[in-house]
Structure 1
């Protein structure tokens, strides 16, 4: 009986170790490895390629952003946490906007264009805003809740990801890290 309990406990410990190893963050990718890194909305992977309509009359493609650090923020006008973090994003844009590409992606498939424009005006969003009218970008980036933010280095590799509202401290430190 005691041998059976010990075997079961050992098996559970081994299973917990395997799960723990599989869920830890990946180590940063070196510049020489970038060409072999797959696309995925995860830290250590290339940002998934998408092309979206940009307000007021343009378009934007993730492929055009490579070579520059990028901050991507998915949001919607009805999202309480999006409203809470937007003043901080507008504030740090003043400091980092010349060093980091800011790209806000409105979940237009779950929002209205008029509400999105009112939100942009209210929070002073003077940086590129793209419209995800079909939800395709949200699916490619595995967005299950808003807001969601990604910090991308100059090689197009996601080096930070935040689900839920960003604290001012996290936003500032992550932007500082990718701006270098």
Structure 2
């Protein structure tokens, strides 16, 4: 290859890299999307459950606190925290609702996962098939759990497996006025 052709090729590659970096930086710096944080208003949604029912956050949140648990069947920490969540939910849930939001998996896969658990879950499993709710809440790692109080405000958020104490804390925070 001639020297002049190589120089043109090098300059073109360098310019392309600089332009792509500039575009990436511009999109990152001008993006309005931020993860939902404690103190933010909860993002309303409506999802179908595994049982064919519909959960509508604002309707549930009219008189109850809400705990949203985003999970996946492949997620081992999700599997480990579910029995504790179920046990605490079964102790009494008059003042709050726990909704396990599955992130875009098929019903067959979810049912297989649920059959592998030692006991049947009492709380609803909502299906976020298109990841609309996951995107609205800017959920990253799974499991992520969000507590929403009776006023529709996010009062706690954790991006890791919950302990029994964490779950009790989420219940307490979601039921506070």
**TM-score if structure 2 supplies the norm length?**
0.73
The question of 1:56 aligning with 2:56 is answered no
Q: Distance in 2 between matches of 1:174 and 1:131?
A: 22
- The question of 1:160 aligning with 2:156 is answered yes
Gaps of 5+ in 2: 1-34
Contact kept in structure 1, 2:155 and 2:173, CA below 8 Å? no
RMSD (Å), alpha carbons: 1.8
Aligned to 2:42: 47
Distance in 2 of aligned mates of 1:124 and 1:134: 26
Q: Tell me what 2:112 maps to.
A: 118
After TM superposition, give the deviation of residue 55 of structure 1 in Å: 2.1
Change (3 A) 1:167 1:54: same
The number of residue pairs the alignment matches comes to 140
Task: Provide the C-alpha distance between the structure 1 equivalents of 2:113 and 2:88, rounded to a whole number of angstroms.
Answer: 18
Q: Quick check: 1:96–1:175 contact (8 Å CA) kept in 2?
A: no
Structure 1 runs of 4+ aligned residues shifted over 4 Å read none
- The structural deviation recorded for 1:149 is 0.4
Larger radius of gyration: 2
CA-to-aligned-CA distance 1:29-51 (integer Å, 9 cap, x gap)? xxxxxxxxxxx721111111111
Report the alpha carbon displacement of residue 156 of structure 1 after superposing the two structures with TM. 0.8
Q: How high is the TM-score relative to the length of structure 1?
A: 0.72
Match of 1:134 in 2: 130
Q: Does 2:82 correspond to 1:86?
A: yes
